[in-house]
Structure 1
Amino acid sequence: MKKIFGYRSEKGESPLDSSISLGRDRGHRRTSFQPGYHTRDRDLTKIHKAASVGNVAKVQLVLLLRKNGLNDKDKKNRTALHLACANGHSEVVALLLEKKCQLNLGDSENKTALMKAIECQEEECEALLLEHGADPNVTDVNGNTALHYAVFCQNVSLAAKLLSYNANIEARNEDDLTPLLLGISERKQQMVEFLVKKEADIHAVDKMKRLKKKRSTKMLLMRGD
């Protein structure tokens, strides 16, 4: 798996915002996984800034003074909940949940706060969100669910928690990959073994093999081989 690490040091950006863009061209859409968020102070409102650094008191004050709304979005459609989850600030997450924030709003890639918690492997934030009713089956712009993200991160604990809250183990993204097929495609052996034990449909593997064979044959015909 090719990994592209990009660390941005522009003034005003959080040091926790290093990102990873993962994926490779297999003849289908590239899937983007980007733990953390690039943030710049000038792009954030008061509540976003406070949430991103875990300042619970400041978040409370901003809401009390109505400087920002609970579900306000920044320029990239991120809510305070997105930023708190991405940075692992569970106390801020708990406060926002107590205030009845919306749980399933998507950012510019339609990633929910739950997806960001999983991308960044923040288990406490994931648990809080699920306990308060976050939907594990919302899809991002590429059709990935939270379980697809857990598989890509190869985090069995995160995946197990999702399944305990009725995550769809057979959900297919826009590349027609279930979490199991994604695990096989990305060589996530531990996750593949876990999903098989959880009775993921192993027959889906045959479909993937037939699809690859069909694509290979088509390419040969186009080349005239």
Structure 2
Amino acid sequence: MKRFFGFGRKRKGPPPSGGASPPCNPGAYELREKELGKLHRAAASGDLAQARQALKKYSIDGRDKAKRTPLHLACANGHLEVVMYLVENKCKLNLCDSDDRSPLMKAVQCQQEECVAILLARGADPNLADVNGSTALHLAAIAPNTSLAGQLLEHNARIDARNKMGYTPLALAVSEHHEEMVEFLLKKGADVHARDQSERTPLCLLLLLGT
């Protein structure tokens, strides 16, 4: 696999992710507490008691200026008890923030595996696309996190979904030289011949980035 895909070569230039790559602190929201309502603050900090109190006054699906719901903030920060509380009180699972990312996508991006499991078990859609056209599986591929990718595939995530640049999760994994993720996706049936908007396959991308 290493010789075939050329892992270990020095990559030149940025990866062709169409803006899908996570920041240095993957998925983290920049929060200004004074701009958040009480329920959003409780969700972001993991304060379950405060969340229960705030829910008496504030909408469970209320949005802040960045269109984030309390569930977004709880998932991004891995506050499992708050996530469970919000889900059990029938919050909407598939609302998207200003980047068109759902709570599930934020949980994947921040690698909060237990939150991901809860959301998927309750029916969160794994195939929503963000402003870049990337799905939760794209985000798992560039993390990289094969456990999260496996959870998503078990809940019918599209393995060959394309973002706005035409890249599949496999193409992104190749572009980032994530060998384990590439092997995982191939074993799960990812199409190594899938072409992006420039008619390049994951193998073509590898040759381009590795030379």
TM-score (normalised: structure 2) = 0.84
The one of 39, 49, 66 equivalent to 1:47 is: 39
TM-superposed deviation, 1:182? 1.0
Q: What is the identity, as a one-letter code, of the residue corresponding to 2:72? A: H
1:71 aligns with 2:61: yes
1:91-130 alignment, distance < 5 Å: 91-130=81-120
Measure the CA separation in 2 of the matches of 1:186 and 1:129. Answer: 27
Q: Give the Cα–Cα distance (whole angstroms) in 2 for the partners of residues 135 and 156 of structure 1.
A: 19
Q: CA deviation at 1:30?
A: 3.0
Question: 2:162: which partner in 1?
Answer: 172
Q: CA deviation at 1:32?
A: 4.3
Residue aligning to 1:146? 136
Return the alpha-carbon distance in structure 2 between the equivalents of residues 210 and 192 of structure 1: 10
Quote the Cα distance in structure 1 between the aligned partners of 2:14 and 2:200: 16
**Contact preservation (8 Å) 1:111, 1:140:** yes
Displacement, 1:29?
Answer: 3.5
How far residue 161 of structure 1 moved from its aligned partner, in angstroms, is 0.3
Instruction: Select 2:19's aligned residue among 24, 27, 30.
Output: 30
Q: 2:72 aligns with which of 82, 86, 107?
A: 82
| Bigger relative CO (Cα 8 Å, ≥ 6 apart) | 2
| Cα pair 1:70 1:96 within 8 Å, conserved | yes
| Uncovered stretches (5+) of structure 1, i.e. residues with no partner | 1-23, 217-225
Task: Give CA-to-partner distance per residue, 1:27-67, whole Å, 9 cap, x none.
Answer: 77333424211101111000000000111111111112x2x
The alpha-carbon distance between structure 1 residues 90 and 205, as it changes in their structure 2 partners (threshold 3 A), is: same
CA distance in 2, matches of 1:186, 1:28: 9
Match of 1:38, SS? coil
Q: Does 1:62 align with 2:62?
A: no
- TM-score (norm: length of structure 1): 0.79
- Gapped regions of structure 2 (runs ≥ 5): 1-12
Mapped contact 1:147–1:159 kept (Cα < 8 A)? yes
Q: 1:29 to 1:205 in 2, by over 3 A?
A: closer
Aligned length: 189
1:139-176 Cα distance to aligned partner (Å, 9 max, x none) = 00000000000001010100000000000001000110
In 2 relative to 1, CA 118–100 (structure 1 residues): closer, same or farther, beyond 3 Å? same
Q: What is the CA RMSD across the aligned residues, in angstroms?
A: 2.2
CA shift in 2, pair 1:147/1:28, >3 Å: closer
Amino acid at match of 2:79: H
